[in-house]
Structure 1
Amino acid sequence: MRQTGTLKFFNHDRGFGFITPSEGGKDIFVHITAFERSGLAVPPEGTTLSYVAEEDRRGRGPQAAELQLA
């Protein structure tokens, strides 16, 4: 299910950040590879994105995938 949220923080040196969901709840992890797979450059913090929350393969909780600018 596609959701929307705001890019809260992104550490370019470490290659990850967090999205705050518009609907509320816990922040969603986002990795640099999610932006690369979506063909997007990492936008500035505060940008609204749409995404699909997927479970991390390592069992660490949800992470953002299929990113689009909203």
Structure 2
Amino acid sequence: MSKGTVKFFNDAKGFGFIKDADSTKEYFVHINGCKDEIQENDEVTYDLEEGRKGLNAVNVKLA
């Protein structure tokens, strides 16, 4: 499991981006990949899964 911070999340559209804690990489997250409700600046843990346009954060939970 990776750790990171929610950089951006749009509740209305159901997607956002998580910035990885150990690198400068950012990963797309869709509301379907969230176990908890998340908001911008939340500390989260997540797994990565290959999506259509690269790696996506899935199993996202509040840390």
TM-score normalised over the length of structure 1 = 0.81
Cα offsets for 1:36-58 (capped at 9, x unmatched): xx2x22x22111000001100x2
Matched, 1:67 2:60: yes
Q: Name the count of aligned residue pairs.
A: 63
Between structures 1 and 2, the one with greater strand share: 2
**Identity fraction in percent:** 40
Cα offsets for 1:14-65 (capped at 9, x unmatched): 2100000001132000001112xx2x22x22111000001100x2x000011
Structure 2 alignment gaps of length 5 or more: none
Structure 1 alignment gaps of length 5 or more: none
Q: Secondary structure at the match of 1:25?
A: coil
Rg larger for: 1
Matched, 1:24 2:56: no
The Cα RMSD (Å) is 1.1
TM-score normalised over the length of structure 2 = 0.89
Whole-angstrom distance in 2 between the partners of 1:32 and 1:44: 11
